[in-house]
Chains A and B, each alone.
Chain A
Amino acid sequence: MKSSVITFPGSNCDRDMDVALKKFGFTNKMVWHDDNKLPKSDLVVLPGGFSYGDYLRCGSMASKSKIMQSVINFAKSGGLVMGICNGFQILVETGLVPGVLLRNKYLEFICKNVFVKLDNKENTYFKNLNKDVLELHIAHNEGNYFCTKDQLKEIKDNNQIAIYYCNSDGKIEDQYNPNGSLKNIAGIFNKEKNVLGMMPHPERMIDESLSGEDGSLFFKNLLNNIR
């Protein structure tokens, strides 16, 4: 299975993502933001980092870069596009997934492990995953998900909420919300569920001795689902 990771100026999780994808069997290519054409891919990943120094709004400049038109076309034709952290911020700026990511509620950069509850397994990303709660890592300053009331109704009606911040038992409560996100939302799908944006980093949880293995479960399962 072929994947592509887009590198923007200021991306810093692109190589981690490359390592993770290759570890679980993807043939991965790194693609520069200034390229016009996307290589043939089964999955495109927008990685974490600080593209364009987070100028103007996080992800806003990257969303207008050359390669993004191909990524948008790929997503609109049903291709799998996953945005992690800054990649999620880029996705909301393109409009591929609804809402925005605001400054964290308490104005802190948050870097820690969190638990997330999978809300919807009727999609290529989470189908057949034998866990409902994953322990993943977050590291962000702008992860406070927000959308309008109309958008919230729409994403609920279409089961577009992918993951919620929760505790280790999967309880979704305000006290487990690290950044003030609306309804504890940590990740969102587009309507068709081929585009996923999420703040947590699965690529940081692929080694039992260094971190945890829930990222491994996610990538292994994703590869099987694409096959």
Chain B
Amino acid sequence: MRVSAIITLKKDVLDPQGKVIHQALDGMGFENISEVRQGKYFEIDVNENDPNKAKAVVEDMCKKLLANLVIENFKIIETQ
């Protein structure tokens, strides 16, 4: 079963890369933007058919390695 995880920076954490992307988009004429935040996206194939169990495994991965909970939040999405 494929499970996806999205890692995003918490609200109070400065995202200099997101800021630069925002400026570049502004310069290209995309002016209707109030903020850009950059994150990470993972697709993980887990050898598990039970969606709840598969999601629990990926949640554990997020807590232990994929995300740093001091600055990041994660969201798990079942994709298949």
Instruction: Provide a sorted-by-A list of 12 A–B residue pairs whose CB atoms are within 8 angstroms.
Output: A56-B66, A57-B68, A93-B68, A100-B70, A100-B71, A102-B16, A104-B16, A144-B14, A146-B13, A146-B14, A146-B71, A180-B16
Q: Which of B14, B20, B70 has the most CB of A within 10 A?
A: B70
Q: Which range holds the interface residue count of chain A?
A: 20 to 34
Q: Are B71 and A107 in contact (CB under 8 A)?
A: no
Q: Are B70 and A103 in contact (CB under 8 A)?
A: no
A105 part of interface (Cβ distance < 8 Å): yes
Q: Are B65 and A64 in contact (CB under 8 A)?
A: yes
| Other-chain contact of B71, A56, A102, A105, A180 (Cβ < 8 Å) | A102
Q: How far is the CA of A56 from the CA of B65 in the complex (A)?
A: 9
10 extra interchain contacts, Cβ-Cβ under 8 A, other than A56-B65, A100-B68, A107-B20?
A56-B66, A60-B68, A98-B70, A99-B70, A100-B70, A102-B14, A103-B17, A107-B17, A146-B13, A146-B14
State how many angstroms separate the Cβ of B58 from the closest Cβ of chain A.
15
Q: How far is the CA of A56 from the CA of B20 in the complex (A)?
A: 20
Q: Mark B20-48, 1 if CB is under 8 A from A, else 0.
A: 10000000000000000000000000000
- Chain B residues proximal to chain A, CB less than 8 Å: 13-14, 16-17, 20, 65-66, 68, 70-71
Q: Which residue of B lies closest to A182 (CB)?
A: B14
Q: Which residue of A lies closest to B20 (CB)?
A: A107
Q: Which residue of B lies closest to A60 (CB)?
A: B65
Name the 5 nearest CB pairs between A and B, nearest first: A100-B70, A100-B71, A107-B16, A103-B16, A100-B68
Q: Are A180 and B68 in contact (CB under 8 A)?
A: no
**A105: chain B residues within 8 A (beta carbon):** 14, 16
Q: Mark A140-155, 1 if CB is under 8 A from B, else 0.
A: 0000101110010000
A106 part of interface (Cβ distance < 8 Å): yes
**A93: chain B residues within 8 A (beta carbon):** 68
**A102: chain B residues within 8 A (beta carbon):** 13-14, 16, 71
Q: Which residue of B lies closest to A105 (CB)?
A: B16
Q: Are A180 and B17 in contact (CB under 8 A)?
A: no
Q: Which of A57, A144, A151 has the most CB of B within 10 A?
A: A57
Q: How far is the CA of A87 from the CA of B17 in the complex (A)?
A: 24
Q: Which residue of B lies closest to A151 (CB)?
A: B70
**A64: chain B residues within 8 A (beta carbon):** 65
Q: Are B70 and A148 in contact (CB under 8 A)?
A: yes
State how many angstroms separate the Cβ of B61 from the closest Cβ of chain A.
11
State how many angstroms separate the Cβ of A177 from the closest Cβ of chain B.
13
**B16: chain A residues within 8 A (beta carbon):** 102-107, 180
Q: Are A180 and B14 in contact (CB under 8 A)?
A: yes
| Other-chain contact of A147, B14, B17, B20, B70 (Cβ < 8 Å) | B70
